[in-house]
Amino acid sequence: MSLLRTTSVHDALDGLVHAARVAAVERDVPGAHARIVQAERTFAAHRAQEETHWLPLYTARCVPHPNATPTVLLRDHALIASLLAEAPTHGGLALVDLLEDLAGALEHHDQRERTHFKPALDAVLTPAERTRLLELHAASEQALDAPPSRVTTPWTPTPDAPVQAVRAGLLAGQPLPDTLEHVL
């Protein structure tokens, strides 16, 4: 079993963003916004899994590739989340442009994870730890498949002040704190 099995969430996000782009080009702004809401929900669950369970292990045990440091991965998450949050405020060509940027950000993030993050983490996990991460991922995917009224996600889109401060610092180019425990 490999953590690379969990790349289906990236495929789902790519599909949702593509569908939103098609809808935007066809001038179906409500349809595009509906896909963006789905993508935002899917990404929030993905982000929660990585930042709560995966990144602390990666930070503690791996020597990260320069293109997949915790700082880079958290910046990717912040950028993708901000693009998803901003998208519903746009229509027309501005929405098409924003969705193009979002597709690029998702592609780069996915490449980092497939090439560096997940293989490095895979190499240092015990079988029990790997199984636990895969179980958490599967539970998160099942929650996303449930009707929205029954879904509970561990991620809240409005993090508390310490988390906001660290993320703002990362976006401003400041180094990642020595420990992520107070952030996550």
If you average pLDDT over residues 14-31, what whole number do you get? 93
Residue ranges per domain, the chain?
A: 3-145+154-171
Q: What pLDDT, on the 0 to 100 scale, is given for residue 184?
A: 40
- Which stretch, 81-90, 110-119, 156-165, has highest mean pLDDT? 110-119
Tokens of 129: 């730890």
Tokens of 6: 């969990």
pLDDT digits (tens, 9 = 90+) for 43-59: 999 999 999 999 999 99
In the chain the first and final C-alpha atoms are separated, in Å, by 26
Question: How confident is the prediction for the chain on average, in pLDDT?
Answer: 82
pLDDT digits (tens, 9 = 90+) for 116-137: 999 999 999 999 999 999 998 8
d(CA 105, CA 77) in angstroms, rounded, equals 9
Is residue 23 pLDDT above 60, yes or no?
yes
Q: How confident is the model at residue 7 (pLDDT cuts 50, 70, 90)?
A: confident
Is residue 142 pLDDT above 80, yes or no?
no
Is residue 169 pLDDT above 80, yes or no?
no
Q: What pLDDT, on the 0 to 100 scale, is given for residue 156?
A: 36
Comparison of pLDDT for 110 and 152, the residue scoring more: 110
Q: Give the relative orientation of helices 70-86 and 29-49 as an angle to the nearest 10 degrees.
A: 150
Is residue 81 pLDDT above 50, yes or no?
yes
Its pTM stands at: 0.76
Q: What pLDDT, on the 0 to 100 scale, is given for residue 168?
A: 58
Q: Is residue 143 within 8 Å of 91, Cβ to Cβ?
A: no
d(CA 91, CA 33) in angstroms, rounded, equals 9
pLDDT digits (tens, 9 = 90+) for 144-166: 765 443 333 333 333 444 445 55
